[in-house]
Structure formats: C-alpha cells, structure tokens
Amino acid sequence: MRSTKITLFMLTTILASTALAQPTDHDGPTFDGDGTVNVPAFRLPPSALSSQEARQAQAMRGRIPVGEMTSNETPDINSRRAQLDRMMSPRVAQMKALYPVDIKDGTIAGIRVRIITPKDGDFDPERILVNLHGGAFTVCWDSCSLVESLPIASLGKYKIVSVDYRMAPENRHPAGVEDAAAVYRQLLNSYKAEHIGVFGCSAGGALTAQLAAWLPANGLPQMGAAGIFGAGGVRFQSGDSAYVTAKTDGSFPGPAEDGTLEIDMTRGYFDGSDLDDPVLSPALHADVIKMFPPTLITTGTRAMDMSPAIYTNSQLLKADVESTLIVGEAMGHCYQYNPALPESRDAYAATVKHFRKHLD
C-alpha cells in the first residue's frame, strides 16, 4: 500500500511538472505526437560569451549574402572553383602574413600535394601531418589547403602535406579516401604510423574520419592522431544542428521535413553509396570507432556540424578512445578559417597541443 502511494505521488509530481513546463504563451514551441517540435520565429542576439571580435564579425554578416560560399548558383565546376578561390584570396593573404611558411607543390604516390613547412625551416623531422582540405568534396583545394594548414605548420613547427584528393563532380566516393590512403601509405616509408597525424575541416574533417576507418579495414596501421574539425564520423546535415543552424546561421540549407537533403552540395560525390556504412559513418559502428586514434573534434554552437561532432565524441568515449571535443560559443562552421577570432587562435593552440601529445 505504501509503495502504491509513493508511485502515485511520483506520477502526480511528474505530471504536474510536465504541465508547468508547457509554454504558457502562444509564442512558445508546440509539440506533435511524433516528437516533432514546431519552433516559432525568434531573434538570436550575439552571444555575451563570445569574444568581442566574434561579435563584430557577426555584425558584419548582414553585409554578406547568406549561403554565398556554399551555393551552387554557378553550375560549371571550374568556374565555381575559381569563384571560390577569388573570394578566399584575402583570407589566404591574411594567413600568409600571420603565419609565414614555405609552400612547395609536389606529388606523392602520383597524387598532387602541397608541402608546407615553417618559414625558418625549423620543423620536427620525425613527425608529419596530413591535411585533407574542406570544400564539400567539390571545391577549395587551392584556398582551403592553405587556410587550414598555415597556422598549424607555423605554430606547431610541423611539415604538413595537404592532399589534392579527387572530388566531384568528376569523381565519386571512395576516390577521396583512396587518394588519402595512397599518400599515407607512401609516407609510411619515411615515418612511423604513430608519428603521422591527419586533420581537416568540413569535408576534410569527414574524410579524416573516413580514413581512420579505412586504414585498419585495409591492413594499414592506424594514424597516430586525428583532427576532425567542422565535421563528425557520421554523414553531414544529420541531427538537430542541421535544422537549427539552417535558421540561426543560414550558411547551409537545412534538410526537408522528411530528412532528405534539398540541395546536394557534394554534387553527387556520394551517389550510390550507403551513407551509414562503416567508412562513411564510422561513429555508427562500435567495432570501427574503437579502432580510432586519439581524436580532437571541433565545432561551434551555430555550426550545422555540431550534432555529428557531439555524437562522434560520445561514441569515441564510449569505445574508450581518447577524444577531446571543443565547441566554440557562437561559432559557425569551420570558424578556424578566420584567424582574427580569439576562438580560432585557441583552436590552433589546441590542435598543436593535441598532435604534440599524441604523436610522441
């Protein structure tokens, strides 16, 4: 009898708490029977927890057409690539001024690469980093390879090899991960696997996760450490953040209500692929994710990649893989591309610290 009274009391308390938690004005969210939340329009001010520089950058967003860098309005891929490089050229120049390096073009395993070293020639001869650039598996080799690599090479005193992997629309998966693995395999002739780190942002972050899944499955030793930035070990535009940031950041379109993508930014790169397979979504497979190296993951509270990043970190920790997650307050997708932000500089420092610790 006493147990029944306690149960009834707990149930009454829960029901009362639930009732109190329901919105009392018409501007609050409403909830469908299947769990769908109907969110009203609202204003999102600059975060008081972000840096002054970040708030100033946010204020400038009104002058930039939303989604300009990720739209597919220019259908010809070569024109689109040239257009994006022109847009990114001031940022590349800024990075070169802040982080002096030497840049040489070359080939490894028949694949075009860019070799980046500190300007003073002082770098660790026994350790090397591989960069897999961002750009939705379609664009940004010329620009993103530099924007992502320069600060890490200069600050960390590393030699970095950035890979010009095959992209869409000319190619399909697994072209990119095959190229990354070919370069990695060649580097094993000169470096120990535990002394090779791999990192990338956006598509390059996703490709880093793919490579970490690909190597053990294809008889190659695992890399020493990974950096998955602006991405996760599951497909892009999955989870809550894809929907939320489509409305709060606007750089990327959100999925349709049924979860399908209205715009394929990869231009068919994954056509014919199972996006849940162990290479494309290793975080969905416990036996694959447990083989990952120590991993640093970065995202932002206004980044569409936040959910994949958080989920991947959780799965790595569950698998007893060392993982560090950095979520930049009020930061958008691949915020490290802007070196003027203290949050970006913190991310560079964390990246250098991560590879120094785990490539030892």
| Per-domain residue ranges of the chain | 52-138+154-358
C-alpha neighbours within 13 Å on the C-beta side of residue 61: 16
For residue 73, what pLDDT is reported?
A: 55
Rounded Cα gap, residues 304 and 251, in angstroms: 9
The region that residue 299 occupies, defined by phi over 0 for left and psi between -120 and 50 for alpha, beta otherwise, is beta
For residue 64, what pLDDT is reported?
A: 54
Which residues are CB-contacts of 52 (< 8 A; sequence separation ≥ 6)?
A: none
What is the pLDDT tens value at each position of the chain, 360 positions in all?
444 444 444 444 444 444 444 544 567 899 999 988 898 888 888 899 999 999 988 887 765 554 444 455 557 999 999 999 999 999 999 999 999 999 999 999 999 999 999 999 999 999 999 999 999 999 999 999 999 999 999 999 999 999 999 999 999 999 999 999 999 999 999 999 999 999 999 999 999 999 999 999 999 999 999 999 999 999 888 899 988 988 888 888 887 777 677 788 899 999 999 999 999 999 999 999 999 999 999 999 999 999 999 999 999 999 999 999 999 999 999 999 999 999 999 999 999 999 999 998
CA 149-192-222 angle, to 5 degrees, is 80
Rounded Cα gap, residues 285 and 311, in angstroms: 12
Rounded Cα gap, residues 72 and 61, in angstroms: 20
Listed residue (277, 288, 312) closest to 298, CA to CA: 312
* Pair 201, 148: CB distance under 8 Å: yes
Listed residue (220, 236, 200, 359) closest to 294, CA to CA: 359
Listed residue (161, 158, 149) closest to 118, CA to CA: 158
| One CATH from 3.40.50.1820, 3.40.250.10, 3.40.630.30, 3.30.300.30 for 52-138+154-358 | 3.40.50.1820
As beta bridge partners, residue 298 has 229, 326
Rounded Cα gap, residues 301 and 319, in angstroms: 25
Rounded Cα gap, residues 170 and 77, in angstroms: 9
Rounded Cα gap, residues 263 and 85, in angstroms: 22
For residue 156, what pLDDT is reported?
A: 98
Instruction: Tell me the two tokens of residue 307.
Output: 């959910």
pTM over 0.75: yes
Rounded Cα gap, residues 136 and 168, in angstroms: 9
For residue 42, what pLDDT is reported?
A: 87
Instruction: Tell me the two tokens of residue 45.
Output: 């001010």
Residue 275 neighbours by CB distance under 10 Å: 13
Rounded Cα gap, residues 85 and 90, in angstroms: 9
For residue 254, what pLDDT is reported?
A: 81
